[in-house]
Structure 1
């Protein structure tokens, strides 16, 4: 039986290269993985800020459509931080259960949430235009309101604070490198409402990182509890803990992540 393919999605401000070492390690164990570049993380290929998270939803959906619809593969979607929001939207109708109902093969067999929201229907992290809840190490660069368009803008993470907040579990030189890779982030992603809570219907793993200074393990525990007590269906059936990891566990704890993802794929390791 063929092994599932991993789709790896980064969080805000980060390039997909955060998964490079993990993707290489997964390949050594026989797994194919595809890294998704989020268009709302600004760069040469996406230089203009978006007013919402739809570009990310589309990017993820396009990747899934190729794997699930065209190739009929089984897929595990790995979402770090913010990317659980477009990730949940993107998998609608593409689960293995959905495909089996249509007499088709392939589909999303599991979701993996890494220190991420488990968004319920209607969730919106902030009202449009509101940045009052942003943490002090996130700088709002600008907010624009073009005629006949929704508000847009960008934010950046202060380079002075990033090593100790985002990469506190990494060697100083590694933390400085990843700080240099941070990019501006479209603010519109924070103002986008959710319409589909995918973790209700697709088997899901939640990864808790014990040294995370962004989400914090205490807040992550509340996220998990809120999902499990929300009423209705809940397919969150596994919580994995890496007590020594900061926010970017895929950078500093590759071997641990490989084991966790192999278990997500059904291996007994």
Structure 2
């Protein structure tokens, strides 16, 4: 039997990794080891000026796992796609095998996440226009999310607990350009979320269709937070990305 990959969850802007708790519980019950990443940009006392520390936060979680010879499936959500793709550099299974090392990132799983090419920032993808629900500080250092119940959790029955977990985010990370697009080098899945009010469905599809690579695509009739509203379905989608036949 092929060992199951360790599943590492990378949240979006403003979010802690505990947002994935229901999906992680279901995957752990199915025999998967899971862990999450906390970002330096979320709730920061000193605001980040680029994505470097968030990329490092992912690599600092992934590297000890792959150095044990284990494989990793990296689940990225929203802004997590920007830094998640960047974090793959040197940690994918093929690159490590060339160095005589076992283990590595074997699959990327984008949950309504930004899949950006090199040289493009999140704000570039938004045509340098803040979304209507961005609340940016006067000094351009902090961004918060207005109306999260409508933007992130529009199909979540009781989002109050998760809304209370949201923190500020370092706004300049949104202006930091991608230098490595991991989805070009690692097999990848994109989970399209049809009710997403943060990244509309047409924008999600455009990132997949314009990428120039072949994606495995799943679709859920879900908001920006399927890990809360449809955890069973998302867990099954991740299992399929991990190689299970369901």
- Give the structure-2-normalised TM-score: 0.94
CA distance in structure 1 between the partners assigned to 2:244 and 2:98 by the alignment: 26
Match of 2:54 in 1: 56
- Of the candidates 242, 260, 266, which is equivalent to residue 237 of structure 2? 260
Structure 1 runs not aligned, ≥5 long = 144-151, 229-233
Match of 2:29 in 1: 28
> Contact 1:96–1:109 at 8 Å: present in 2 too?
yes
> Contact 2:9–2:36 at 8 Å: present in 1 too?
yes
CA distance in structure 2 between the partners assigned to 1:39 and 1:89 by the alignment: 16
Q: Deviations over 1:158-212 (max 9, x none)?
A: 2xx22112100111xx222222221100012111111111111100000100110
- Of the candidates 112, 130, 133, which is equivalent to residue 134 of structure 1? 130
Structure 2 runs not aligned, ≥5 long = none
When residues 15 and 24 of structure 1 are mapped into structure 2, their CA distance, relative to the original with a 3 A threshold, is same
Partner-residue secondary structure (3-state), 1:139: strand
Task: Give the C-alpha shift of residue 131 in structure 1.
Answer: 10
> Contact 1:85–1:117 at 8 Å: present in 2 too?
yes
Match of 1:12 in 2: 13
RMSD: 1.6
CA distance in structure 2 between the partners assigned to 1:15 and 1:48 by the alignment: 18
Q: Give runs of aligned pairs for residues 193-212 of structure 1, distance below 5 A.
A: 193-212=177-196
Q: Give runs of aligned pairs for residues 119-198 of structure 1, distance below 5 A.
A: 119-126=116-123, 133-143=129-139, 153-158=141-146, 161-171=147-157, 174-198=158-182
Task: Give the C-alpha shift of residue 132 in structure 1.
Answer: 5.7
Q: Deviations over 1:116-141 (max 9, x none)?
A: 121111112337xx996111211012
Partner-residue secondary structure (3-state), 2:217: strand
CA distance in structure 2 between the partners assigned to 1:249 and 1:40 by the alignment: 23
| Higher-Rg member (1/2) | 1
Match of 1:73 in 2: 70
Partner-residue secondary structure (3-state), 1:17: helix
> Contact 2:123–2:130 at 8 Å: present in 1 too?
no
CA distance in structure 2 between the partners assigned to 1:133 and 1:251 by the alignment: 29
Q: Segments of 4+ in structure 1 off by > 4 A?
A: none
> Contact 2:16–2:38 at 8 Å: present in 1 too?
yes
Match of 2:111 in 1: 114
| Aligned residues between the structures | 244
